[in-house]
A = this chain, B = another copy of it.
Amino acid sequence: MTTEEHDSGTAPWSKPRGTAFLLSQVGAHAAARFAERVGALGVAPSDVGLLRMIAMRPGRSQQSLAGELGVVPSRVVTLVDGLERKGLVERRRNPQDRRNYALYLTEEGSRVMAGMREVGTAHENDICAALDEAQREQLAALLEAVAVQQGLTPGVHPGYRR
């Protein structure tokens, strides 16, 4: 991915040798490594998805983010507070309806987003180092099939879901 996983919280495990266990194990590992990488840019994995969503559709409200991510609005407050404090995101009042905010990336926010694309590439190459190009595509295709069948929303990490 260009930006992606995170860490987890609880502990998932542990029967030695099943496809589902391997998925969880390797997935958690990839998330942890991604967290290390983006951490060097000063953001948490949970910030990454938010930044990306704001970058793709500037002017979004906090409610729309909460809805799409599947988290409670108060959590978005906390996340946006952090991004605003770091100077990556800006809250602008909407003169038409002053109840909601329109969210935008700052210049610094855009710079960080660009950095995250590099991080994503490096991360992808790191995690897939054992596989050649054909195998990577094969793996992606199999994972995609599982993701679709399981009803996962493209680009939305379950780490957000309530």
Contacts and interface: CB of A to CB of B under 8 A. Distances in A.
Q: How large is the interface on A (under 10, 10 to 19, 20 to 34, 35 or more residues)?
A: 35 or more
A72 interface: no
| Residue among A23, A143, A144 facing the most chain B CB atoms (10 A cut-off) | A23
A14 interface: yes
Contacts of A2: 15-16, 18, 21
Nearest to A153: B25
Given A12-B45, A27-B26, A20 B5 contact: yes
A44 interface: yes
B152 A25 contact: yes
A26 B25 contact: no
A20 B48 CA distance: 15
A161 B159 CA distance: 18
Interface in A76-131: 116-117, 120, 123-124, 126-131
Given A9-B10, A15-B2, A24-B31, A145 B157 contact: no
Interface in A18-73: 18-32, 34-35, 44-46, 48-49, 52-53
A18 B1 contact: yes
Nearest to A79: B11
Contacts of A48: 13-15
A13 B117 CA distance: 12
